[in-house]
Chain A
């Protein structure tokens, strides 16, 4: 159901009043609902207090799209972030390690005005020795904050061990995005940038690729410290992204696929000022059936309830499986052998 109503931008009022207005407009006075809105990056963000309500109103240009869900069948993870439903993960030492241990499915609070800043993705399709990290540059003022260098690594080839040139992380800037996520470390070897292998490319080329992708940077590394690797018991989980040990309900959505595509496009949107007016995002010219980028937010929500992985992720599987076929899985028993399958959020 759609409702359209106007609001005075300069005097938005309090969240409580707005909440009441919504219940009134939709004639659902006693139903608990979750309120969300789409921001300029196309992310669905919650409205649940005065601050994020005001933020939402101020970003409207001129329309503000509000989404309302019943609280009981709300899909928290549909929001641009995926905080609460996650399990403890081995890498969470930097990510508030003492939070909700062993209480994977308890909603502590609504996501506030959170935004993902980094995530580990494609865990199920990568060898355990590798880690694919996504850094979300937009929406944060933090610098990416890392440096890369030339180096060499030893590879297993059909002809035995071979020393090959490689690209490594040489430095993390204190307080930068890369350091604050804890997912990247000095001497990690960079294997891919946004799905493109870096082998055979020069340091300058890789630098340019990373900068060109800086607003949505996905780097696949072989961590220098292999002790924190995510370990799986088997690969049978396939592309579902589901963990075999997981206590997550099967309905838990994995919205990575959508994030990858939806955001990859939205992050790029250029801004136009017409006749010295207000800056606006440049829209897409014509939606084409093959591009998910043109799907509306509603469709995104719908899509997000399906456990789909991206075609590109699958291709990456072939990609990496081909080049690292010599690696084998060694499940590491112990209390740390937990599963990692999705987004990590840091503040």
Chain B
């Protein structure tokens, strides 16, 4: 019926909609999921990261980032920047090569794929003949050398990817120059490494897997030197002056080789197994960096003693007598060193070590004593402990912002002060329109405060709630404290730590009042903490209260986890948010909803059993309300868990089988003899078995009833100053919505400020609304006389919002998973509704009021509902008339965790997790758009011979 009542297209409104709404996915925050390759251009000072899903991401100075995606979605195996160009080549695991370029377009650079190419062998040759194992972009920028599994080195012209067949370096050609006594046919089987001579572009070093290394002269097409390595080769590295190179091996050794003009066959200068003498793991990559003082930096990946430390992911740095093996939290994908790229400079003078591990990026400052880590401005590992919830606060007042930053800076003292070394490109995006905070709650009981104003999501401050509780883990247990003479000299670096000591600490709900600095967080074991921002360290008691949500209900037994034990006596808290009130729900079920009213100094919390209201000024529990249905055993027994529901469904299906078996017996009973019954039973069993095996996915169609499970689960809590009892007097009220479609409204009496400590806060139930469709209530909102949503607490007091209209009649909006309904207040009569599920078959997962400004005029803005459905669509629905404005597909409907993680901002933006470690940022607004916009300067192309010098001076000039 509704669709016929829908108004036709109003052209004025349609035009306005275009000025208000626009959907864009703007940027991905966090750390790429499953990184697989790393590249760096010292010329552009850009870093590139490839992933297993075929994404390629470039990062430079904060705010400079680009993203590309290979159509094939194959793993990126290698990334190589073309020297002195805004171009890079990627090798995928399907053996295809892709050329990407950064080109300026409309005042900003864009990353585009230009060409793709797959090396083809002669007809009939095995696929290994063309399987690329090593890639060398030549400094001439004209060709690419491709080492293959067959030992051939192919030469490919750029950018056309034309194979220059006459220049292929075949194993046969190499072998004819090598004396037979130190090689055989199999010596040239697989090209492991290709390195260009640092001073002479006409010579390249070819390292074969079995150990043989050849310095090949491209002009004369013959080797000038060969180096008969005996160990399986992993990698090669040239010293800066080209007089020596270093090879590293599978057995954990590395070897220095001199390149002298007198002898064509060289003997190794030095062969070392740094962590010997017992068998060691392979050294897969090595750098040899010269310094002014003569002591080189030797930096290599791996090489740990197999038996005792074979499981470590390490990179060792040796500089004179200093030696540290950085021990990473996850597998090392690749690393590079930032050093002087000026070819005129005599020494490398390394400044930073950049390591891409599987779960995080770690940068080590090699210039400062002790080699401290550098705090990255981007690529934050959001998932260092799994994210359990998120909360966004828009437009943070400057004062609070500065206090949070100051609290955070006290936590970051152990970081290096070095400016971020990867600083290529220029960020030309306009400054973020406002200061936004994204708060993420984690499994380990921490809350992280992220600066979400701009393109770079970076950590401002980390809050831990663990100190309030007694846990098994000893807080003094420090993995880093190793004795002086420990060998190998391991040092843990990185923050990734997915193992939570106690899952009960997990944060489930967060509410921050940006005006007062009050923060409420609630967790898995029914704990609710109210905190206040303090700029100094402090030691104080945390007031502790218990809220028995079952009240006088008898005979229930909680089978879930125990509540957390609290610490007795005062607790020392560092500067920042310090808890002063702890309320523990009984039973200690996960807190499912939370609301804080900083003006009334009240905090409301709900679980699957009921909800309560706590006065954090007087530190007194005002009331609790049990929302349980007596038949809801499941909610009583334990925490929501998959295991439980599986158990239940199994139990039910067995019951079903048993029941139908009984009925089949009954049917047959009476006249039939025993054998008949047996036969029937056997047949039934067979049928049941068959049904189980063959039954397709089917869905039960059944109306919801009051007896369904988890009907008492409190989904939403809301404070409002509105007309609850009569239309002449408004009063503070608390609203709660449950999973069973019930809305409770409590009338509150909050004493005036001057008597706030003397009189108790009182509450009285005023209304209870049961939605007949019984769908879970996911949102409650009161609209004022102008149909504007009521402002947040203290918003009016801070002159940031108009006072709500208390003259006209207020309206109540109840959003269930299936419907939007507007009721009048104080007498509840239904006014309007929008049935979403009945019409479209989708359900509401998230709903928020968002303010949309017009991109055309500054003086127009309106409030709408931003809705995310279980199909991953985003819908914008007008207020107060509940008309669908626009719909965008946003998240794949299969991506359940993405949908569950979505948060909307107050200005029509949003975030959702695309992987455990990455937030996708999107915008629904034409006006508020945060996306990267940056320029990477294209160097002027000069003749090949001078490229090095040219680029070197440019770089030097930029650095100075």
- Could you tell me which A residues sit within 8 Å of B by CB distance? 137, 143-151, 170-171, 174, 178, 193-194, 196, 198, 201-215, 217, 261, 264, 267-276, 279, 282-286, 290, 311-312, 315
The residue that A312 contacts in the complex, of B4, B701, B702, with Cβ under 8 A, is B4
Q: Are B828 and A282 in contact (CB under 8 A)?
A: yes
CA A217 to CA B828, docked complex, whole Å: 27
CA A145 to CA B833, docked complex, whole Å: 28
Q: Are B841 and A143 in contact (CB under 8 A)?
A: no
- Could you tell me which B residues sit within 8 Å of A by CB distance? 1, 4-5, 660, 663, 695-704, 725, 765-773, 775, 818-819, 821, 823-824, 828-831, 833, 835, 837-843, 870-871, 893
Q: Are A148 and B699 in contact (CB under 8 A)?
A: yes
Q: Are B4 and A315 in contact (CB under 8 A)?
A: yes
Q: Are B767 and A149 in contact (CB under 8 A)?
A: no
Q: Are B772 and A145 in contact (CB under 8 A)?
A: no
CA A225 to CA B871, docked complex, whole Å: 34
The residue that A144 contacts in the complex, of B5, B702, B831, with Cβ under 8 A, is B702
Q: Are A269 and B766 in contact (CB under 8 A)?
A: no
CA A255 to CA B818, docked complex, whole Å: 29
Looking at B5, B701, B833, B843, which has the most chain A CB atoms within 10 Å of its CB? B701
Query: Chain B residues with Cβ under 8 A from A207's Cβ?
Result: 699-701
Looking at B699, B819, B870, which has the most chain A CB atoms within 10 Å of its CB? B699
Q: Are B663 and A144 in contact (CB under 8 A)?
A: no
Given known contacts A174-B660, A205-B871, A282 and B699 CB-to-CB distance under 8 angstroms: no
17 further contact pairs, Cβ within 8 A, besides A196-B840, A205-B842, A208-B818:
A137-B703, A143-B702, A149-B696, A151-B696, A174-B660, A196-B838, A196-B839, A212-B837, A269-B830, A270-B770, A270-B830, A271-B772, A272-B767, A275-B766, A276-B765, A311-B1, A311-B4
Q: Are B773 and A147 in contact (CB under 8 A)?
A: no
Looking at A137, A145, A213, which has the most chain B CB atoms within 10 Å of its CB? A213
CA A203 to CA B698, docked complex, whole Å: 8
Q: Are A282 and B841 in contact (CB under 8 A)?
A: no
Q: Are B770 and A206 in contact (CB under 8 A)?
A: no
B834 to chain A, nearest CB (A): 12
Q: Are A269 and B702 in contact (CB under 8 A)?
A: no
CA A148 to CA B663, docked complex, whole Å: 23
Dominant secondary structure of chain B at its interface with chain A: mixed
B833 to chain A, nearest CB (A): 8
Q: Are B1 and A209 in contact (CB under 8 A)?
A: no
Q: Are B769 and A272 in contact (CB under 8 A)?
A: yes
Looking at A196, A207, A211, A290, which has the most chain B CB atoms within 10 Å of its CB? A211
Q: Are B702 and A145 in contact (CB under 8 A)?
A: yes
CA A33 to CA B838, docked complex, whole Å: 41
Count A-B contacts at CB 8 Å: 144
Query: Chain A residues with Cβ under 8 A from B824's Cβ?
Result: 285
Looking at A145, A285, A312, which has the most chain B CB atoms within 10 Å of its CB? A285
Given known contacts A174-B660, A204-B699, A285-B824, A209 and B841 CB-to-CB distance under 8 angstroms: yes
Q: Are B818 and A271 in contact (CB under 8 A)?
A: no
Looking at A150, A212, A273, A274, which has the most chain B CB atoms within 10 Å of its CB? A212
Q: What is the chain A residue whose CB lies nearest that of B1?
A: A312
Query: Chain A residues with Cβ under 8 A from B4's Cβ?
Result: 311-312, 315
CA A157 to CA B226, docked complex, whole Å: 72
Q: Can you list 20 residue pairs at the A/B interface with Cβ under 8 Å?
A: A144-B701, A149-B699, A174-B660, A198-B841, A204-B841, A205-B841, A206-B699, A207-B699, A208-B818, A209-B838, A211-B703, A212-B773, A212-B819, A214-B703, A215-B703, A215-B773, A268-B833, A272-B828, A282-B828, A290-B5
Q: What is the chain A residue whose CB lies nearest that of B656?
A: A173
B344 to chain A, nearest CB (A): 65
CA A170 to CA B691, docked complex, whole Å: 11
Query: Chain A residues with Cβ under 8 A from B823's Cβ?
Result: 282, 285
Looking at B660, B703, B893, which has the most chain A CB atoms within 10 Å of its CB? B703
Query: Chain A residues with Cβ under 8 A from B663's Cβ?
Result: 174
A263 to chain B, nearest CB (A): 12
Given known contacts A203-B699, A261-B1, A212 and B818 CB-to-CB distance under 8 angstroms: yes
4 A-B pairs with the lowest CB-CB distances in the bound complex, closest first: A205-B841, A214-B703, A212-B837, A285-B831
Q: What is the chain A residue whose CB lies nearest that of B837?
A: A212
B895 to chain A, nearest CB (A): 14
Q: Are B701 and A282 in contact (CB under 8 A)?
A: no
Given known contacts A147-B698, A148-B701, A214-B703, A286 and B838 CB-to-CB distance under 8 angstroms: no
The residue that A270 contacts in the complex, of B698, B699, B772, B837, with Cβ under 8 A, is B772
CA A198 to CA B838, docked complex, whole Å: 11
